[in-house]
Structure 1
Amino acid sequence: MEYVVHEKNVRKEKDWVKEVREGGSLRNVELRDDGVHGWASPPAGLFMVRGANYFQKKVKVPCSEMLLEPLGVDWLRSNAKLDHVLAHPENRVMQVLQKLSEEARKTSFILAINLQVSSKKHHSAVFYFMTDEPIVEGSLLHRFIHGNDAFWNSRFKLVNRIVKGPWIVKAAAGNHTACLLGRALTCRYINGPNYLEIDVDISSSTVANAILHLALGYVTTVSVDMAFLIEAQTDDELPEKLLGSVRIAQIEMEAASYLENHNENCSISAHEQPGSQFGLYWRKLSKTLSRIGSHGSKNGRVDVEEAEEK
């Protein structure tokens, strides 16, 4: 009898992942170029990362591993900018997690990346990743989870890949473009008992905000892959591994779920000023777009030099 009860509990603990993955305003769709209004998780190998000999040969290789599993995506709108969404009483992920046993909650870790899009209407695209495996103490992932402002801002990287979309979006956003988000935008990091949330304020960069709103104008025809990773800066941290990846496929703005903003009193770390490196990147991008406007682009796309040291 005890064995049967244990088996039921195990199935229940695993079912919460499926429940979260299939819920939300963006549905989990198949990984294909014509997927519509949904999200999927592209394989690690689609993204080029620093290889084992990067600091000697500057060679990037297809990534071979993800540290966390994709858990789900929320496409939200609110009356004000949504900060610390995991603390919101109506956050569906935490609602499901709280139903688990204490033991299951202790072994489950969630990374939430909240991309905040502010204008007349406030939107957030929240990406959830998870693991229920023990995180090795002293590992790069463990150090990242328990980091500080300086560490987070110097390591938290995004690599994007435009899968489908008009040439102007590809030119503006770049393809396979890498960026240290903590140096480019205002990022706020919130450490919870079993989670880390990173709130990324797109509006903190005028140019990034403008390019995002350009993309939103074509949003129903754009599919983009985004991979998040911890930048490796020493030989023993190579090769780089992804935290996780998400494909956003041709979403509909009006389909966002409404979530009332709530007041909170919590200590949030922030990095306020975009770095000079990112400013140089966008100046190069502006010149590229100027040339496109004057002369057009070959094959309908322009590859943008990535914003990191060569």
Structure 2
Amino acid sequence: MDDIIPRRRSQHRIQRLGFSCRRHLRSANYFKTKQKSPGGDYLLSPAGVDWLKSTAKLDNVLARPDYRVAHALRKAQSRGESLNSFIFAVNFQVPSKEPYSLVLYFATEDPIPSDSLLHRLINGEEDDSFRNQRLKLLTNVVEGPRIVRAAAGNFGALVLGKALKCGYHRGTNYFEIDVDLGSYAIMAAVVRLTLRYLRSLTTDIGFVVEAQTKDELLET
């Protein structure tokens, strides 16, 4: 099994998690007016970030018995705590000479609404085509060098599965998406540029399951 080394200092430099201003998402009349409105309540709350180094590319990290996040959750549940916890993780596999992963964690103690697009994304029994067509990454470089802001601006709203190779893993109490940032040459170049200025960046990151029909609006 490949060794995982948490990069604690780098993790601290990345950013503290929190809620920024609400993003504008597709409104109830979007397909008529193309207007967006402030998003509603979040279905998942930010729970943590890991910046990991390994000897090989990391896939399905939450399934690993040696991984601290999954271990901590199992330990808590053995004490009768966090019994309803569900973790949604996005593992960005960073292209570099040494394998790195930026893993973002979101969590909830409440059941995910069964009529939500997020529930369909996680629990849908269809193949991965829905997931590849719907999960959208929203980014905004709030502070940073102009060259990075210009490059990243081309990817402010990106449906991950359309542009990048993604793997999906459903566990008992988690759902993980592994995103290979090196699978699209232009994105890989932007990532390498960004890493050069990592200490001076402040970036907002969010995710939404894209609504593509009228009955799927509003987006949240």
TM-score (norm 2): 0.88
Deviation by residue 1:79-107 (Cα, 9 ceiling, x = unmatched): 11111111122222111110133675652
Deviation by residue 1:196-242 (Cα, 9 ceiling, x = unmatched): 1000000000110011101111111111111111001122322211x
Deviation by residue 1:159-217 (Cα, 9 ceiling, x = unmatched): 11111111110111107821100000000000111111000000000110011101111
Partner of 1:222: 201
Partner of 1:101: 77
Tell me if the contact between 1:24 and 1:73 (Cα under 8 Å) persists in the aligned partners: no
| Identical counterparts, % of pairs | 47
> Does 2:181 align with 1:187?
no
- Give how far 1:49 is off: 1.3
- Structure 1 126/176 Cα, relative in aligned 2: closer, same or farther at 3 Å? same
Select 2:33's aligned residue among 16, 40, 57.
57
Opposite residue 164 of structure 2, the aligned amino acid is L
Tell me if the contact between 1:155 and 1:230 (Cα under 8 Å) persists in the aligned partners: yes
Select 1:137's aligned residue among 114, 119, 122.
114
Q: Distance in 2 between matches of 1:52 and 1:176?
A: 25
- Give how far 1:141 is off: 2.1
Partner of 2:218: 239
Local SS of the residue matching 2:93: strand
Q: Distance in 2 between matches of 1:163 and 1:117?
A: 21
Tell me if the contact between 2:148 and 2:194 (Cα under 8 Å) persists in the aligned partners: yes
Partner of 1:174: 153
Tell me if the contact between 2:14 and 2:198 (Cα under 8 Å) persists in the aligned partners: no
CA RMSD of aligned residues (A): 2.0
Tell me if the contact between 1:24 and 1:72 (Cα under 8 Å) persists in the aligned partners: no
Opposite residue 99 of structure 1, the aligned amino acid is K
> Unmatched 5+ residue regions in structure 2?
1-5
Number of matched pairs: 210
Partner of 2:61: 85
Q: Distance in 2 between matches of 1:42 and 1:137?
A: 24
> Does 2:93 align with 1:111?
no
Q: Distance in 2 between matches of 1:180 and 1:44?
A: 21
- Structure 1 104/24 Cα, relative in aligned 2: closer, same or farther at 3 Å? farther
- Give how far 1:38 is off: 2.9
Local SS of the residue matching 1:174: helix
Deviation by residue 1:260-294 (Cα, 9 ceiling, x = unmatched): xxxxxxxxxxxxxxxxxxxxxxxxxxxxxxxxxxx
- Structure 1 96/24 Cα, relative in aligned 2: closer, same or farther at 3 Å? farther
In our comparison, the structure showing a higher alpha carbon Rg is 1
> Unmatched 5+ residue regions in structure 1?
1-22, 28-35, 242-310
Opposite residue 166 of structure 1, the aligned amino acid is P
